[in-house]
Amino acid sequence: MKPPMGDVSGLRVAHLIESDGPGGAERVVVELARALEAAGARSIAFLPANGEGWLARELEGSGVTVEHFPLQRRFTPGLARSLAAAFVRHRITVAHSHEFFMALYGLWASRRARIPHVITMHGGLYYTARLRRRLALRAAVALSARTVAVSEPLAARIASDLCVKRQRIVTIPNGVRFTPPEQVTLRVELGLSPEDRLLLSVGNLYPVKGHHHLVGALRILAARHPRLHVAIAGRGDAAETLAASARSCGVAHRLHLLGLRSNIPALLAASDIFVLPSLSEGLPLALLEAMFAGCPIVASDVGEVGVALAHGDAGVLVAPGDPVALAAAIDGLLSNRSHASDLGARAARRATAEYDVSGMVRRYVGLYEDVASLSSVARPGPHAAPLDLRPFCPTPVHAQPRTKDR
């Protein structure tokens, strides 16, 4: 079924992203590219060579064209030239780059190809670590047709970090496509009885996701709720640290690290409460999925989370990094199932009204059409000097992995 939008057959969009693992930004690229292709536009996804291949597999059978590029450890004009040539070959009308490094390469290549360039920042703020990176991204924002943030707090943070006017940053919230599961098997897999209570958290196992605070909350709740378990779906370097923390707290038998899972709706359907203990976020897709599932939610009040949960009307908000407050909020929902059920129903209604994937796609299509209509007078001429951002970013591309939303 086509998204409710006008004729988009003239759009040919290049989607550029620096990683292809199962993260939030990558999932947005999948949804956007597939929806545009289904609506009659053309989508060409430019993905890093020798990556995980997850994103390309997700696009199989959608009609989306996939091209791979060698992501260099340092900024090189060769990659910008090859991307620009690919833009011309595919007759791209808009180049859409996701996150810091592709924002720079995408701008460089789009100027050579004389097409408008759009940036979306999803929440990875590692560019702030170096002044030269901030200056490079500031230049990219200034020279791109539009820059998008997935939340209002993120937009404000980017504007402040880069010393640009807030009006230059457009906000387009993420959206998800939620499909109820056909089978729910998690509780059987974990050997849980109907009397056991299960908390679920979804997110890659990085410190910024705050899972260690959830383990701390489990320790606090252990005596009051002796049948309480925590399951975390995700992967990352913090897995062993979390397991060791659970052992030291005496709750190792209650912590279940599920690894990477694709069947998130089925996990949510098996859970009593969804918990988002993050220390920093934009607008995480896992939160939106929990809302669509009607799952009672306890979440850190970071990024756009408070807005998504109607400032506490559709879920319980707590201060980030506080396991005592997290435990108290979880205890409140475990002890009052009626209130928990009511919050879950409110979250589902709000998700349906505000965060369906079709709304996100419509907003991006409107943005694409706006920038594609720009007069060629406003674009660089055929002999314009290529943009060279190498002096700003001499450090290796993968020196600091970006934080992924899930």
Residue 315 in this model has a pLDDT that exceeds 60: yes
pLDDT at 377: 35
**pLDDT 10s digits, 35-64:** 999 999 999 999 999 888 999 999 999 999
What 3-state class would DSSP assign to 44?
strand
Q: Among candidates 69, 86, 76, which has minimal Cα distance to 19?
A: 69
Distances (CA, A) of 192 to 113, 231, 258: 57, 12, 14
Same domain, 230 and 249: yes
Q: Among candidates 175, 186, 352, which has minimal Cα distance to 269?
A: 186
Residue 403 in this model has a pLDDT that exceeds 60: no
Q: Residue 14: what residue type?
A: A
pLDDT at 2: 40
Q: Phi/psi at 84 (nearest 5 deg)? A: -60, -40
Where does the pLDDT of residue 362 fall: very low under 50, low under 70, confident under 90, or very high at 90 and above? Answer: very high
Same domain, 196 and 337: yes
Tokens of 74: 């340092």
Residue 162 in this model has a pLDDT that exceeds 90: yes
The answer to whether residue 401 is domain-embedded is no
Q: List the strands of the sheet with 297-300, edge to edge.
A: 255-259, 228-233, 197-202, 273-276, 297-300, 316-318
On the 0-12 / 13-18 / 19+ scale of CB atoms within 10 A, 59 is buried
Residue 392 in this model has a pLDDT that exceeds 70: no
Q: Domain holding 343: CATH number?
A: 3.40.50.2000
Number of domains in the chain: 2
Same domain, 124 and 208: no
Residue 405 in this model has a pLDDT that exceeds 50: no
Where does the pLDDT of residue 177 fall: very low under 50, low under 70, confident under 90, or very high at 90 and above? Answer: confident
The answer to whether residue 405 is domain-embedded is no
Same domain, 139 and 154: yes
The answer to whether residue 400 is domain-embedded is no
Distances (CA, A) of 20 to 28, 74, 179: 11, 19, 23
Q: What predicted TM-score, i.e. pTM, was given to this entire model?
A: 0.81
The answer to whether residue 404 is domain-embedded is no
Distance (Å, rounded) from C-alpha 89 to C-alpha 14? 12
Tokens of 63: 């009609």
Same domain, 122 and 66: yes
pLDDT at 262: 85
**Nearest-10 Cα torsion for 25, 28, 34, 35:** -160
User: Of 354, 372, 400, at which residue does a domain stop?
Assistant: 354
The percent of residues above 90 in pLDDT, for the chain, comes to 73
pLDDT at 211: 97
User: Of 329, 354, 379, at which residue does a domain stop?
Assistant: 354
Question: What are the E-state strand segments in 224-300?
Answer: 228-233, 255-259, 273-276, 297-300
Strands 42-48 and 273-276, by their bridges, are unpaired
Could you say which DSSP state residue 356 is in?
B
Same domain, 199 and 116: no
Residue 196 in this model has a pLDDT that exceeds 50: yes
Same domain, 298 and 261: yes
pLDDT at 397: 42
Same domain, 249 and 126: no
Same domain, 226 and 107: no
Distance (Å, rounded) from C-alpha 396 to C-alpha 139? 19
Same domain, 262 and 388: no
pLDDT at 393: 53
pLDDT at 5: 64
pLDDT at 75: 74
Residue 391 in this model has a pLDDT that exceeds 90: no
State mean pLDDT over 151-174.
92
The answer to whether residue 181 is domain-embedded is no
Q: Phi/psi at 116 (nearest 5 deg)? A: -70, 155
Residue 168 in this model has a pLDDT that exceeds 70: yes
What 3-state class would DSSP assign to 340?
helix
State mean pLDDT over 284-307.
95
Distances (CA, A) of 102 to 36, 114, 214, 327, 347: 21, 17, 34, 40, 34
The answer to whether residue 7 is domain-embedded is no
Q: Phi/psi at 397 (nearest 5 deg)? A: -60, -40
Q: What is the DSSP string of 92-113?
A: -SEEEEESHHHHHHHHHHHHHH
Tokens of 180: 């109820």
CA count, 13 A, side-chain hemisphere, 146: 22
Residue 390 in this model has a pLDDT that exceeds 90: no
Q: Is residue 99 a contact partner of residue 17, using CB atoms and an 8 Å limit?
A: yes
The mean of the pLDDT values for the chain is 89
Same domain, 287 and 369: no
Same domain, 240 and 142: no
pLDDT at 311: 96
Residue range of the domain that includes 227 = 186-354
